[in-house]
Amino acid sequence: MRRAKISIIGAGNVGATTAHWCAAAELGDIVLLDIPATENMPKGKGLDLMQSGPIMGFDSNIVGTTSYDDTRNSDVVVITAGIPRKPGMSRDDLLGTNAKIMTAVCNEVKSSSPDAVVIVVSNPLDAMVQRAQQVTGFPPRRVVGQAGVLDTARYRTFLAMELGVSVEDVSALLMGGHGDTMVPLPSCTSVGGIPVTQLIKPERLKEIIDRTAKGGAEIVSLLKTGSAYYAPAAATAQMVEAVVRDKKRLIPCAAYCDKEYGVGGYYVGVPVVLGSGGVERIVELELGAQEKAAFQKSVDAVKELVKAMAGLV
């Protein structure tokens, strides 16, 4: 059986750690690419990671490169390229620079891997995945953004910490844009099957939700010199697995919504079924009045971001 080919564009902390998670899970053979200015850095990381295979017991072939020729005919392309946040920066502050980087990357991906499923990780996420689809011209279902998996993981972590329970028993769902305008759904959040609203008082739950929304900024402020990468990479690897193994995972992702939820042609976080074809189905939920209002506010923020991006690329 042919192994899946997974190309990761951007060999920084998020990209290299995504390669690590994907290799350890034997999701396929991996190409780790960075810009020519980095010279042999991706080659060194790829070789180092491959040499951990005999110890950890995985057989993935890992190649580090600065040439898109090595990525040809990838099944999945993960894009992490872009400048990371620094203390005091919002995701939106990255818009102009990362939009130009995304444009350059996607022009290469379009010609080298025309049949790939593209997973975008770069920030500001919702605008970057929109740009990726615009430039590649791929069917929207084959271009998807990683955000909801990460936000939900942070939410589940904080809920488990609060209740002193295993994260495995916490099930949660978030929608909307990545970051401050995300929309938690308490009606879709439970712990061991018990609704979270029966376990945590409303005011405390709101504090946990606020911390989740600012989860990336909290880590940026602690690291000082970079942004989160372990959890974002793990979230990305889960999405890669859903595609290469056709898992049909029902998870929140930044997906192209037109008539769905009345979004009107933008990428925004919604629950989807993710499989070998990319986004195979968007799951539409019945939202309460408060949830609808919060979701619309989030969608409006995404639209403003995309509008601003149009004047920068």
Strands 183-184 and 174-175: antiparallel
151's tokens = 């936000």
- 248 Rama sector, left if φ>0, alpha if ψ -120 to 50, beta otherwise: left
Is the pTM above the cut of 0.85? yes
Catalytic residue among 45, 141, 154, 178: 178
Total number of residues shown for the chain: 313
Give per-residue pLDDT as tens, 19-52: 999 999 999 999 999 998 888 999 999 999 999 9
Which pLDDT value is given to residue 40?
A: 93
Local structure of residue 6 (DSSP, 8 states): E
Active-site residue, 178 included: yes
pLDDT of 63-96, one tens digit each? 999 999 999 999 999 999 998 777 776 666 888 8
Give the residue with greater pLDDT, 245 vs 179: 245
Is the dihedral angle over the CA atoms 135, 296, 249, 22 positive or is it negative?
Answer: positive
> d(Cα 280, Cα 75) in Å, to the nearest integer?
16
Domains along the chain with CATH numbers? 5-145 (3.40.50.720)
- What six digits make up the tokens of 117? 């499923």
Using the predicted structure, report yes or no on whether residue 153 has a pLDDT greater than 90. yes
pLDDT in tens, 258-272: 999 999 999 999 999
